[in-house]
Each structure stands twice: as C-alpha cells, then as structure tokens.
Amino acid sequence: MAKPSAKGTGIWSLLAVPIMIWTVIPLIWMVALSLKKPADLGNPEANILGGFWPKEVTWQNYELIFTGGANDLFLPALRNSLIVCLSATLISVVLAMFCAYAIARLEFKGKKMILTTALAVSFFPVVAMVTPLFDVWRRIGLFDTIPGLIIPYLALTLPLAIWTMSAFFQQIPWEMEQAAQVDGATNWEAFRKVIIPLAAPGVFTTAIITFFTAWNDFVFAISLTSENARTVPAALAFFTGASQFEQPTGAIMAAAVVVTIPVVILVLIFQRRIVAGLTSGAVKG
C-alpha cells in the first residue's frame, strides 16, 4: 500500500484544525462558565475575551457540588452513574462476546436476521420504550432502583455491542483456534486463551462505546428514577439556584465538567487502542 504524500497529509491536517476548534470551543466555554461567579455571568465588565473568560476565577461552583448545598444531589447521582454504567457495560460486553463468537464461527439459520435485528433495535426510539417500562417497573418494584436502570440500558448497549464486536470476531483467522484445539485445548480454553486476546482491541473499543452510550443517557434516567437511583444527567435537571429567579448555570456547568473528565481521560489514555479496534474490523486480512 502506497504511503500518503506529504501534500495529502497537509491538506487533511488543515481540514482537521477547524473541526478540532469547533469541537473544543464548547468544552472550553463550559469550563469558563463553571469558573464564573453567578453575578459575573451576565456582566461583560467582569469577563475578558468578549465575555468568554472570567477576570477572576472562582471555585465556588465546584465547592457547591462537592461540599455545598448541591452535594446531596450530585454525589449520590455520580455514584449511581458509575455503578449503573459500569454494570451495563460489563454485562453487555460479556454477552456480546459470546453472541458475536457464535455469529462469526457457527453456521445457522437466521444469523443475518440477528445482526439486522440488533442494528434495528439500536436505532429504536428510546422515548417509545419509556412509557411501557415506567408502568411495568412501577408494578414489579423496579422503579427508582439500580437494576431498574441497568436492564433498560442493556437495550441500548447490547445491540450496539453485538453489531460492533461481530465485525472483529470475523477477522480472527479460524486456523488459530483450530491449532489450539489440535494442541489439546478445549473449545472453552481456545476461546479464552486465543480468541479473546486476539479480539482485545475490538472488545475494548466496544466497551468504551457502550459505556459512553450509557453514561450520556438522559431519557431513561429522568423517567425511571425518582431519587434513589437518579444518575448525573437526570440530577442536573434538578439543580436550583439561590432563588426561584436564579438559574444555577455555574453549578450545572461545574457538574458537567466533572462528569466529562472521565470520558476525556479514557479517550486520551486509550485512543490508540480505540483507533486500532475501530480499524481492525474495517478490512479483512
């Protein structure tokens, strides 16, 4: 394969710059709002760069959500988000591994139908599922519980995980598994010691994508919880200001920055593995 020319690389770099700026500016604006005093939000004289950045940086919004009046709402919601999203991701990835392996290795009727159904379910409107789930959950006692959120999140993450991971398992040479079995390994040992390590980039990529999907959900979180299992996206809607006429913009932005940090850190640390996983399933080799 021919290497891209320096001219082509330069053109792509120039095109990437405005996209990066377009993506980063909202994040910086969110950080800037979280560092402003409530009185400075609408005061141009208290800000620089056209009202973009505050002249005096304050940490009172972060103190409010961690140690102040909003900590009783934010900290439990942050804990719930971690428990629910990590649980949904773990269950989805484990189930999707076995399903994707069966789709890639076994011949049976309806295999394409399973993949098509998984893709169709992932595009199904979440709002359409909320009303019946709300009624059922209230009847069987799952409303406002951690399992009551994990189960609907599987409807979001599992089809996506199956579809994504199937492409990676199809790229693994069948001969490597057969060689392990010839050497005396059982089917389970070949799957655990040969297939899973080779599919690790794809598994990791799927885990990241499913975690982000669950982490950013708002509809299920706001509709199927009350107080005990409320996650951060839903909790932000219940932030209140010092009075009914004051919008807690700074506190909301501070909470948004806190919940965005894990996502940014994961992407920065594991970006090579994410890219490797996404590209490994793109071509056959």
| Amino acid 243: pLDDT | 52
| Amino acid 276: pLDDT | 60
Do residues 122 and 247 touch, judged by C-beta distance below 8 A?
Answer: no
With CA atoms as reference, report the closest residue to 72 among 257, 235, 256: 235
pLDDT at 83 over 50: yes
Q: Flag whether 23 is in a domain.
A: yes
How far is 181 from 223, CA to CA, in rounded Å?
49
Q: Flag whether 3 is in a domain.
A: yes
Which of 33, 58, 83 finishes a domain?
58
pLDDT in tens, 163-181: 888 878 888 777 787 788 7
With CA atoms as reference, report the closest residue to 77 among 253, 237, 246: 237
Most confident by average pLDDT, 5-9, 68-72, 125-129, 137-141: 137-141
Q: What is the mean pLDDT of residues 146-162?
A: 90
pLDDT at 284 over 50: no
Co-location of 28 and 163 in the same domain: no
Q: Flag whether 65 is in a domain.
A: no
pLDDT in tens, 37-57: 887 877 778 878 777 888 888
Q: Flag whether 19 is in a domain.
A: yes
Co-location of 257 and 160 in the same domain: yes
| Amino acid 101: pLDDT | 85
Co-location of 147 and 32 in the same domain: no
Co-location of 76 and 207 in the same domain: yes
Co-location of 50 and 158 in the same domain: no
Q: Flag whether 180 is in a domain.
A: yes
Co-location of 51 and 99 in the same domain: no
Q: How many domains does the chain have?
A: 2
If pLDDT is split at 50, 70 and 90, which confidence band does 283 have? very low
Co-location of 131 and 179 in the same domain: yes
pLDDT at 18 over 60: yes
pLDDT at 81 over 80: yes
Co-location of 31 and 87 in the same domain: no
Q: Flag whether 15 is in a domain.
A: yes
Q: What is the mean pLDDT of residues 140-145?
A: 92
Co-location of 52 and 133 in the same domain: no
Residues in the chain, overall count: 285
| Amino acid 241: pLDDT | 60
Which of 58, 89, 106 finishes a domain?
58
Co-location of 105 and 246 in the same domain: yes
| Amino acid 275: pLDDT | 64
Q: What is the CATH number of the domain that holds 144?
A: 1.10.3720.10
With CA atoms as reference, report the closest residue to 135 among 223, 250, 197: 223
Q: Flag whether 233 is in a domain.
A: yes
Co-location of 13 and 146 in the same domain: no
pLDDT at 146 over 90: yes
Whether pTM > 0.75 for this model: the answer is yes
pLDDT in tens, 258-279: 888 877 787 777 776 666 655 5
Structural domain of residue 40, as residue ranges? 1-58
Co-location of 27 and 105 in the same domain: no
